[in-house]
Amino acid sequence: MAELVVKSQCRSALRQFTEVSLNVTFPVWGIAAPIGVLILMAMAVTSLADQSKAFEFLAYAGLCLSVAVAGLLGKRALSRDCLIVDKQGIKLPRLLGTSVNLRSYMAWQNVSCVKAIVDDSNTAKSRLSIVLKRGRPVQLLAETLEPGLLEQFVLATKMWAPDAYDSSLEELQENLRIGARQQDQSSYTNLWEEELARRFCPAAYISLEPGRVLRNSSIKIISHLASGGLSALYLCQLDGKELVVLKEAVIPENSAENVREKARELFEREAHLLMKLDHPGIVHVRDCFSEAGRNYLLLDYVNGSDLNQVVKQNGAQSEADVLEWAIHIANALKYLHERDQPIIHRDLTPDNIVLRNDRDIVIVDFGAANEYIGNATGTFVGKQAYIAPEQLRGKATIHSDIYAFGCTLFFLLTGTDPEALSTSNPRAINPSVSEGLAELVESCTQMEARDRYQSVAQLLPVLRRLAAQSIVV
């Protein structure tokens, strides 16, 4: 069951002070104290003839041991001092703000309101206020929350405590997004937030409102995550408990009936192929259905950040991390391409690859809806910087996925999108990239399909060799 659980450290002043103090004193409690214990124990053993001296050495050894244990326990407690939000309630970190928090847990039934106190002059100084039915309100500074936590916190509140949800939270979210865009950073939205705005052609249609139920009331819309063109994404509850994502695609009513039917047939055929997939690196597509003239894919919810967000928030990634992720992605593509009926992804971009909270990599979306809409409207849809020339001409092959794979590696290594319809070499922007990995990216992104790696199976041994070399270095 994929339930929404928010877990994150709060970057409070007291936490930062404690963390710095433990790091600075590490040579004392992490190195000197354990060595001191060993030396003093040895001296106590050699002084057994003089019991008073031996006890003195043992006392000093005990003191050194206490210092080492205190440091280790402090580090352990700090790593576990998290804010956790789940269906039961909110667990607060002990080191909250500038003081030690004595209230550790708040059940949802004791929360009367969750609201935002917005500071228009400085959005980072805005606060989340948790008003309790019994006890004093608890406030969290927005700037102490990790990127992306606010969005998930708001979703959890809307899902588990809808009566406590206050509309001021939406104002704070919007202010944070505007501020992030002005600073050329990611808007820190949920993993689906920007997907369709980048992908689908502009057109007007009305998305479903929160609270709407579908499929005999088994699916309830919790939150509208994103919309653009002729599609939308929703966070939903399935059967009143399980968290899922619903992808909606709409064919314009003015399309010719034969075009609509052909596109719908293509969509359903692709959806049924995706439903048969079973791979840890590929999101599970549960079902497809149509209702009220709209067509839907039901997918598992994957808790984490897409690789576009990861790079926007943290910059170009290390070569070791990129190679580790690349091997996971390549294994998933190999699984798709080597099926009895090969599946071409068609839309492999950093936006569609999620780094889960447990550090696993998952591909979360396919190009099925894109092709469905494109066939009906005659409009090409997709992120052009990642599209192979033959795919742009309407002839996607497995080599098109290899091209997109190379473009994705380029983005992860440089922090910038590749130039559309071109061969990419990351060393042109990031000279620290090894020649071997740069050559691999360049080979993947050749303009002619015949000049690229001919299969992902050919790619994997090269990736593994490069990964082994990066560990040695």
- Position 315 pLDDT exceeds 80: yes
Question: What average pLDDT does range 191-206 have in this prediction?
Answer: 42
What pLDDT is attached to residue 255?
67
Quote the tokens at residue 248: 């909606």
**Long-range contact pairs involving 158-164 (C-beta distance under 8 Å, separation at least 24):** 158/210, 158/222, 158/223, 159/4, 159/87, 159/222, 159/223, 159/235, 159/237, 159/243, 160/85, 160/86, 160/87, 160/108, 161/108, 161/111, 161/114, 164/108, 164/111, 164/112, 164/113, 164/114
Examine residue 47 and state whether it is found in any structural domain, yes or no: yes
* 440 shares a domain with 334: yes
Give DSSP secondary structure letters for 336-402.
Answer: HHTSSS----S---GGGEEEETTS-EEE---SHHHHHHHHHHS---S-GGG--HHHHTT---HHHHH
H-helix segments, 47-102: 51-80
- Position 304 pLDDT exceeds 90: no
* 318 shares a domain with 256: no
Question: What average pLDDT does range 311-327 have in this prediction?
Answer: 94
CATH of the domain at 369: 1.10.510.10
- Give the tens place of pLDDT for each residue, 363-379: 987 765 455 455 544 44
* 228 shares a domain with 331: no
What pLDDT is attached to residue 117?
84
- Position 154 pLDDT exceeds 50: yes
- Give the tens place of pLDDT for each residue, 111-144: 888 888 877 666 667 788 888 888 788 887 777 7
* 171 shares a domain with 49: no
What pLDDT is attached to residue 240?
84
Of the listed ranges 17-21, 188-192, 244-248, the one predicted with least confidence? 188-192
- Give the tens place of pLDDT for each residue, 405-422: 999 999 999 999 999 889
What pLDDT is attached to residue 202?
39
> Distance from CA of residue 20 to its chain's centroid?
27
214, β-bridge pairs: 219
Question: What average pLDDT does range 271-291 have in this prediction?
Answer: 91
pTM score over 0.75: no
Examine residue 6 and state whether it is found in any structural domain, yes or no: no
- Position 1 pLDDT exceeds 70: no
Examine residue 295 and state whether it is found in any structural domain, yes or no: yes
Q: Are 5 and 303 in contact (CB under 8 A)?
A: yes
* 329 shares a domain with 292: no
Picking from 272, 300, 328, the residue at the C-terminal end of a domain is 300
Of the listed ranges 134-143, 253-262, 341-350, 364-373, the one predicted with least confidence? 364-373
* 446 shares a domain with 311: yes
Q: Where are the beta strands (DSSP E) in 103-241?
A: 105-107, 111-117, 127-132, 138-141, 213-214, 219-228, 231-238
Picking from 182, 206, 226, the residue at the C-terminal end of a domain is 182
* 91 shares a domain with 70: no
What pLDDT is attached to residue 455?
96
Picking from 242, 274, 300, the residue at the C-terminal end of a domain is 300
* 228 shares a domain with 154: no
Examine residue 7 and state whether it is found in any structural domain, yes or no: no
Quote the tokens at residue 228: 């653009």
Average pLDDT across the chain, whole number:
81
HSE-up (13 A, CA, CB side) for residue 228: 16
**End-to-end CA, the chain:** 41
* 441 shares a domain with 351: yes
Pairwise CA distance, residues 38 & 448, whole Å: 65
CATH of the domain at 250: 3.30.200.20
Of the listed ranges 81-85, 197-201, 348-352, the one predicted with least confidence? 197-201
Examine residue 230 and state whether it is found in any structural domain, yes or no: yes
Specify burial of residue 278 (Cβ count, 10 A radius: 0-12, 13-18, 19+). Answer: exposed
When divided into structural domains, the chain yields a total of 4
Nearest to 230 by CA among 406, 131, 327, 372: 372
Examine residue 441 and state whether it is found in any structural domain, yes or no: yes
Examine residue 4 and state whether it is found in any structural domain, yes or no: no
Share of the chain above pLDDT 70, in %: 80
Full domain range(s) for residue 172 = 83-182
- Position 6 pLDDT exceeds 70: no
Examine residue 157 and state whether it is found in any structural domain, yes or no: yes
Share of the chain above pLDDT 90, in %: 32
- Position 187 pLDDT exceeds 50: no
231, β-bridge pairs: 228, 249
* 112 shares a domain with 17: no
The full length of the chain comes to 473
Q: Are 348 and 385 in contact (CB under 8 A)?
A: no
What pLDDT is attached to residue 189?
34
- Give the tens place of pLDDT for each residue, 416-455: 999 988 999 999 999 999 999 999 999 999 999 999 999 9
> Distance from CA of residue 52 to its chain's centroid?
60
Question: What average pLDDT does range 312-338 have in this prediction?
Answer: 95
* 462 shares a domain with 427: yes
* 463 shares a domain with 332: yes
Name residue 166's amino acid.
D
